[in-house]
Every structure is written in structure tokens, then in C-alpha cells.
Structure 1
């Protein structure tokens, strides 16, 4: 794809190569993991869970999929928007794994605006599937070294874009880069979307999250992330009361909307102007192949709807439609043969 493309949507996140395989509950217990977990590990810390990556190479059903939450979302948005409409910032190593990611993005129509690290390998994520659950262990590798000056080098893409999407995982890497995009978006009146991404983000990265939230137009999360937010911010409401948590995140803003997905249960959308729930699209259980990346797919469809100027009802439905499509594939993927959206 030509670098002269002018993406309408810019995404920022942590590009990773996903290792994906089926595991038994005993394997998760061995490493102290929950069935639906998301944790970070560091190769430099002698963390025992680093062994998972080597062990998974020997699993019979191991698959390698281009991953990283915001990158999955970028590919999902491009599924609707077409080639050259979505640009993606992140940091990778100069290795065969980043070549794989580049190929996947190109095939999906996403413009890769990577920052390359010479001496650090591309990040990886072990996605361990147990039934409809998935537990993720991530070694950020090169993704952890993204710097705001890389945005400056490609600022023309930022200025041309009309919408911005940031995965909350990037709050662990470069809050400065996120704020740089967020401030530009606010100054120019462009929608800025933040995904909470995982329960550990509100729990352990509360300070950078607090810095970024005032700039958000949309905040996306699921029920686990909402509960973590309520606990971290000391909200008096029940951690299962998603509407009350959404109200707290919106605060006194007249322009912020909070969207909480909750698996098969209805999606909750709250703003100062409106409150609504949206039942998910029904899908027979025997059609569900893999729920890994369903939330990223929802965000991709939703962002595509916003970018196309659709009303929020349609954008939510596009997100749910793409999520239902994705969970019929292996990993955070979309059908190779294009399926047209049906409202």
C-alpha cells in the first residue's frame, strides 16, 4: 500500500504476534492464571510465565496470528472501510515476526506506521484457550519502546485523520504519545476513543488513565474492566452496576459516551443525553470457534461506523456484527472472503 494513503482513522497500540493454543484448566493453574486473564510479563525479570511461550511451540494446535488489541481493531475497521483508510502506529523489532505483521496489515488494507527497534524483538502474546475463555500472557518486547517523536515524524497522517482510537494497553507504554494525539483531537474537534482493554489497566495504571480520560469522546470496555474501574476509583456503586459506573466515567461531560460490552448480554451505551441497551446478535453455539479478539472486533466495527458518519445505533450494530463474524474464525481474525454487512 502506498505511503501516500490518507487514513481517516488512526489507531495507536502495541503490535504483537499471538501464539494461540488450547489448554486444560490444569495448565492455567500451573502458572496461577485465571480462565479469562490478561497479564504482562517481562523477559528481563526471570518471570516463570515466560516459559509459556517456549512450551506453546510444542502444542499440537498452536497457531500464530497477527495480534495486539488495537491492531486487531484497525484491521477490523479496515474490513469495512477498505484499503488506505486506517493507519496504525506501534513499535516492533526488525525481525521475521514484524514482517508477518506487516503482511497481515497490508492484506487487510491497514497502513503500518511502525517504529522499528534494532535490538529488541517484536512483542508476543500467548493466548491460551479453554472453552469459550481465553487467558493472555503478554511480553511487550519492542512494543514497550514506542516514543512520541515517532508521531512527529508522521504528523501529516495525524493532521489528515478525522478519528483516533487508542488501546488502553498503550497506557503502560507511552502515555505521552496518547496525550499528544488526544490534545490534537480535542483542539481540532475530532473524536478520540479509548478502550480500557483489560482489568489491570484501571487497577495498576490509574494515574495515566486519569490523565487521558478528560480528552475522550468515547470510552469502550467490558464488564470486567468496568468492575476494575469501580474498585480502583473507589466508586460507591455495585461493581456489577455498569450503568452507574458509566455515569461516573462520563462525569459532567456533555460530549463523552461510555460503551460497555458484556459478552452475550446486552451492550450498554450511556451519555449525558441518552442511555440505551443493545441486545447482541444471536449466534448458535456450534458456530462459535474462538472468542479471542471479539472485543477488538466490536471496536473495529464501531470505529468504522463512526468514520463513515453513521448514527451510534448503526455503529454499535456494525460492531456487534463484526464481533459475531470474528468469533467464527480462529484468533482475532476476519473471513478471508469479504462478507458484506447486513443491518
Structure 2
């Protein structure tokens, strides 16, 4: 397995007859979750990805497993829980830069994940373990599960990749800051956004943030700068990699997950960190042009065409 990831995926409802839920009479149904967005992004780029989670023993859970399996993601480590439901959320796309999301996930099956749900051999056989800051925010047992998964990975030489993916509504700021910094200190690679860096360290300067994350324990830091691109840091190298312009941002949700998938794909393909970040920028840009959390994730052919045209036009780059 190339990448194993752990976390909750939910049923997604998006208003169709009106962008506002209060007026909508019809909704489209889909699925979304940071970890499966990354896993699907990786499978579309030709890699093997596995997902660890729980879903409810309900029609939503069954539909979700069928769909994610169909995208080529290994779901053998997803357990079905008869005591709790599959989580759901609603997304209002009012405009490309104004998206409102409302979650109904309290007490969901995935929030009941616990360390005993982990198969050590499954994680040990991966090249990378991908975790986000969402999962440990769901419950104390989820927090312990993530810490245990990281421990298994480190014991077996599996690289840990961490996307803080801050969700302020899920926990207190003090608890969030403490746990995110703890996991960041254990991760080999961290993929924070500028706002997350400010939340954790109280500074906005990218170079200072890069230093802070390196000093906190990570060996590779990739600071996402939105449309501007990303700034990567190691002990011996640091550089800004410019982003790709898109004609119109339709739905920005999932762009960070797409970035993670592109970056991991680059590393798996043996690219330098700079080239992997460039690939991540391309995947992240592409996903914003299509409605949905993962629908715009490209395959290699689509990505190559997009990056080639963008480089030729020399829009931002």
C-alpha cells in the first residue's frame, strides 16, 4: 500500500433548486471527507490508497462504501457500526468565495473509532500514513486512535504526513492548539495553511512559520499560500513554488486535500520536494473549478494537460 489514511467521511447534501438551504426544495447527494478526498486523489493519479474508518449500518454507509470502493480505494479496514449513524453535512455554495458548511456528525459511527480498530500490519505495510487534525477532534477515542496509528507508523519506518485541517467548531482553541502541535511534532511532513500557522504560533510571516514548524519536530514543512502557491522548508532548503491561476473558482472545498494528494503522488513518483509541491499546486487548483469535494480531482493525463497549458500561458508562474 502506498498511503493509508484514517478519518471520517460523511454524506454530503448540496442545495440544487436554490443556493440557500432555507429555500431549497431539492438536494444532490454525494460524499465528502478530507481523508477519502486524499485517497481518491491518489488512486486517480495511479497509486494505492487505503482508508481506515467506521460507518453506520445504514443506507448512507452502504452507499458510501460502494462508492469509495468504486474509486479504487481499499476499504477493507472500514468497520460497520450498528449502534451509530453515518455522519452527514450540508454545503451551501453561495459563490466561489462564499461557501457555508453545516455538519451533523455528533455521535457518528466514525467518532467511535478506537485504537483496537487498528490493524498494525496494515499500517506497517504502507509507505506513508496520512492523518489530519479533524479526526482527533471528533472524540477522545479518536484522538487516542490517531496517536496509536502514528506510533505504529514510526515503529515500522512509515513516514507520517499531517495536515492540521483546523476545525474550530469541533473543540476548544486551547485543546486544538495543544493536540495539533503534539501531532505536528510527531509528523515527518506537515502541510499547514497560513491561517493554521497563525493559529498555532501567532505569527504570519511564512519564513518564521517554517522555522517554527521545523523546530517543533517536522523534517519537511509545506506552507500552503492559496492561489500564490506554497512555500516549502527543510533544514537545508526553502523555496516558494508559485501557484496556478484558474478562470473561476467554483467550489474551494477540498482544495487542501487535493494539494496533499498531489504532493504525496509526487513523492511516490520520486520527484524532488520542489516538483512535488508544483504537482500539488496543480491538483489543488484543478479541484476548485468543479463543484464537489473530490469531483475535480484529475488523473495524470488531465493534470499534465492543465499544468502544460498553464506553464505555456505563464499566467502566475
**Is the TM value for this pair above 0.5?**
yes
Q: Which secondary structure state, in structure 2, belongs to the residue aligned with residue 264 of structure 1?
A: helix
Partner of 2:313: none
3-state SS of paired residue (1:185): helix
Alignment of 1:94-173 (within 5 A): 94-112=57-75, 113-132=77-96, 133-140=98-105, 141-151=108-118, 154-172=119-137, 173=139
Greater than 4 Å deviation, 4+ residue runs = 335-339
Deviates more, 1:104-113 or 1:129-138: 129-138
What are the residue-to-residue correspondences of 1:174-323 with 2, within 5 Å? 174-198=142-166, 200=168, 203=173, 204-231=175-202, 239-251=203-215, 253=217, 256-285=219-248, 288-323=249-284
Shift of 1:93: 0.6
Alpha-carbon distance in structure 2 between the residues aligned to 1:167 and 1:107 = 23
Aligned partners of 2:124 and 2:153 also within 8 Å: no
Structure 2 CA distance, aligned partners of 1:306 and 1:18?
31
What per-residue deviation string (whole Å, max 9, x for no partner) do you get for residues 192-215 of structure 1?
011110252793423322332222
Q: How far has the Cα of 1:338 moved from its partner?
A: 4.5
Give the conservation status (yes or no) of the 8 Å contact 2:228–2:242.
Answer: yes
Aligned-partner Cα distance in 2 for 1:229–1:271: 19
What is the distance in 1 between the residues matched to 2:267 and 2:212? 24
Unaligned runs of 5+ in 2: 308-317
Give TM-score, length-normalised by structure 2.
0.84
Question: 1:127 & 1:14 partners in 2: Cα distance?
Answer: 17
C-alpha separation in 1, matches of 2:36 and 2:56: 16
Per the alignment, do residues 227 and 202 of structure 1 end up closer, same or farther by CA in structure 2, a change over 3 Å counting? farther
Count residues in correspondence: 293
Alpha carbons of structure 1 residues 306 and 336: separation in structure 2 relative to 1, 3 Å = closer
How far did 1:89 drift? Answer: 0.8
List alignment gaps of at least 5 residues for structure 1. 1-6, 28-54, 232-238
- Cα 1:163–1:337 change in 2 (3 A) is closer
TM-score normalised by the chain length of structure 1: 0.78
Residue in structure 2 matched with residue 52 of structure 1 by the alignment: none
Q: Is structure 2 residue 76 aligned with structure 1 residue 81?
A: no
Query: How large is the RMSD of aligned CA atoms in angstroms?
Result: 2.4
Structure 1 residues 263-272 or 332-341, which shifts more? 332-341
8 Å Cα contact 2:120-2:152 kept in structure 1: no
